[in-house]
């Protein structure tokens, strides 16, 4: 084979690779739009009477996840099944955002941490990498860390809304989360940096709880803690 023939083959391979990336990009853009719509919807819990509408907003968010699953099915067809990590960077950010949104919905519904397996099911992908398009562990953990930041904000806005028991429950949850992350040996630099930010979320929530305490509102919160969430 001549040099020109060799480069003609290489050019063909490059063109095919670019076509795959372009098809992936189109689906990822659709996923990003769906994620933005869900985020806008869920941000409503921070505003005014938003706490009263949490069940309704979670229900609507669940409906958006139906669209996400359809879009994920499309994404799976855009590249060879054995080349997940070759193209992973294209959807890594939006997947982490979707993990956060799923985790936030589950927390608002039950005040528990969603498992990686449950998130994968919500998104319509696999938890086991051997079964194809899957939820990478680090993407799951990144989404959970974003949840921690969102809950720190929710704790502050809860006080503004007159819900004094919610910050106490959030504090307990975030401290358990922090303890869980301390068990992990994080070697990924990006994930490690994001985890380092968790201590600021913990501190922010502790300040909210302390403020409730010195204002005597923690007693009211404790009395109301057994009531409706």
Residue 200, domain CATH = 1.20.58.200
**Within-domain flag for 118:** yes
> Is the alpha carbon torsion for 209, 114, 225, 151 positive or negative?
positive
pLDDT of residue 74: 96
pLDDT in tens, 202-225: 999 999 999 998 887 766 555 444
Residue 20 to residue 30: CA distance in whole angstroms? 16
Are 128 and 20 members of one domain? yes
Question: Could you say which of 107, 135, 163 is where a domain stops?
Answer: 135
**Within-domain flag for 228:** no
Q: Where residue 10 falls among pLDDT bands split at 50, 70, 90?
A: confident
Are 121 and 166 members of one domain? no
Owning domain of residue 166: 136-220
**Within-domain flag for 167:** yes
Question: Could you say which of 135, 165, 183 is where a domain stops?
Answer: 135
**Within-domain flag for 114:** yes
162 compared with 26, residue with greater pLDDT: 26
Are 26 and 70 members of one domain? yes
| Mean pLDDT (whole number) for 180-204 | 89
Contact between 71 and 27 under an 8 Å Cβ cutoff? The reply is yes
Are 60 and 108 members of one domain? yes
Are 114 and 164 members of one domain? no
| Confidence check: pLDDT of 9 > 60 | yes
Token pair 């955002």 is found at 97
Are 126 and 140 members of one domain? no
**Within-domain flag for 4:** yes
Are 144 and 124 members of one domain? no
The total number of structural domains in the chain stands at 2
Element (H, E) at 13: helix 3-42
Q: Where residue 52 falls among pLDDT bands split at 50, 70, 90?
A: confident
Contact between 135 and 120 under an 8 Å Cβ cutoff? The reply is yes
Are 86 and 140 members of one domain? no
Question: Could you say which of 135, 154, 179 is where a domain stops?
Answer: 135
Residue 48 to residue 29: CA distance in whole angstroms? 31
| Confidence check: pLDDT of 229 > 50 | no
Are 189 and 150 members of one domain? yes
Confirm whether residue 220 is marked as ligand binding: no
214 compared with 13, residue with greater pLDDT: 214
Token pair 């968790």 is found at 198
| Confidence check: pLDDT of 138 > 70 | yes
Are 92 and 178 members of one domain? no
User: CB 118: neighbour CB atoms within 10 A?
Assistant: 15
Are 10 and 118 members of one domain? yes
> Is the alpha carbon torsion for 106, 143, 199, 50 positive or negative?
negative
pTM for this prediction: 0.88
**Within-domain flag for 225:** no
């Amino acid at each position: 084979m001549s040099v020109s023939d060799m480069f003609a083959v290489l050019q063909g391979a490059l063109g095919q690779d670019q076509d795959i990336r372009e098809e992936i990009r189109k689906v990822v853009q659709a996923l990003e739009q769906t994620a933005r719509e869900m985020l806008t919807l869920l941000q409503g819990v921070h505003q005014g009477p938003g706490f009263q509408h949490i069940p309704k907003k979670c229900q609507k968010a669940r409906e958006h996840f139906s669209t996400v699953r359809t879009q994920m099915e499309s994404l799976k067809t855009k590249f060879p099944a054995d080349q997940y990590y070759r193209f992973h960077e294209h959807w890594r950010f939006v997947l982490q955002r979707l993990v956060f949104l799923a985790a936030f919905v589950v927390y608002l519904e039950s005040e528990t941490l969603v498992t990686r397996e449950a998130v994968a099911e919500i998104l319509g992908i696999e938890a086991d990498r051997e079964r194809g398009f899957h939820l990478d562990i680090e993407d799951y953990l990144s989404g959970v860390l974003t949840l921690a930041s969102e809950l720190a904000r929710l704790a502050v806005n809860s006080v503004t809304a007159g819900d004094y028991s919610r910050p106490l429950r959030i504090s307990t949850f975030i401290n358990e989360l922090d303890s869980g992350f301390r068990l992990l040996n994080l070697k990924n630099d990006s994930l490690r940096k994001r985890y380092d930010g968790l201590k600021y979320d913990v501190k922010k929530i502790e300040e909210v709880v302390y403020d409730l305490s010195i204002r005597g509102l923690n007693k009211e919160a404790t009395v109301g803690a057994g009531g409706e969430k």
